[in-house]
Amino acid sequence: MAEETQPKWEGKSTVKLRGPTPDEVWPLLEDFCSINKWLPGIDTSYQVEGVHGQPGLIRYCASTVTSSSDGDEKTVSWCKEKLLSIDPIKRCFSYEVLENNVGFNSYVATMDVLPINGDDELGCQIEWSYVADPLDGWTQEFLDSYIKSSLHEMAEKLEKAILATE
């Protein structure tokens, strides 16, 4: 009897930034190893191997989580992620999770920075889409909610950074 496989989870979240243009946001996001500046909860992110800005680059990301009520017990959640493709003209990149202690067996995501309604002057939107194997102990709704809230917090940080330089 063949082993049953669960269907892949697929999801996408979008956030609009009213003001910053795609050309202002893209340079901040295209630096694959600086995700800790923008993604809430990521304490560190750095290049492990490969060439900066080129497919094949591998980054290490980690978060420290306090798991007890007295604050003494800390756990580090980490993963290594590989940049699969990057297109500065279309302002998008794709990556996959490699080694990790979070529970991902297969996870591939794409980040796109797009104009709103095709007009760069109206601001931009960021789309974060993914395809993943189901995660033990998670629901797809939980993963979707995590991505949506993380993307909204990321957008706020990006807007603040861009406004601070104007």
**3-state per-residue secondary structure call for the chain:** CCCCCCCCEEEEEEEEECCCCHHHHHHHHCCHHHHHHHCCCCCEEEEEECCCCCCCCEEEEEEEEECCCCCCCEEEEEEEEEEEEEECCCCEEEEEEEEECCCCCCEEEEEEEEEECCEEEEEEEEEEEEEECCCCCCCHHHHHHHHHHHHHHHHHHHHHHHHHHC
Q: Which domains does the chain have, with CATH numbers?
A: 9-165 (3.30.530.20)
Instruction: Give the per-residue pLDDT at 46.
Output: 97
| pLDDT band of 142, cuts 50, 70, 90 | very high
d(CA 11, CA 16): 17
Instruction: Give the per-residue pLDDT at 61.
Output: 97
pTM, 2 dp: 0.89
Instruction: Give the per-residue pLDDT at 165.
Output: 80
* Percentage with pLDDT > 70 across the chain: 92
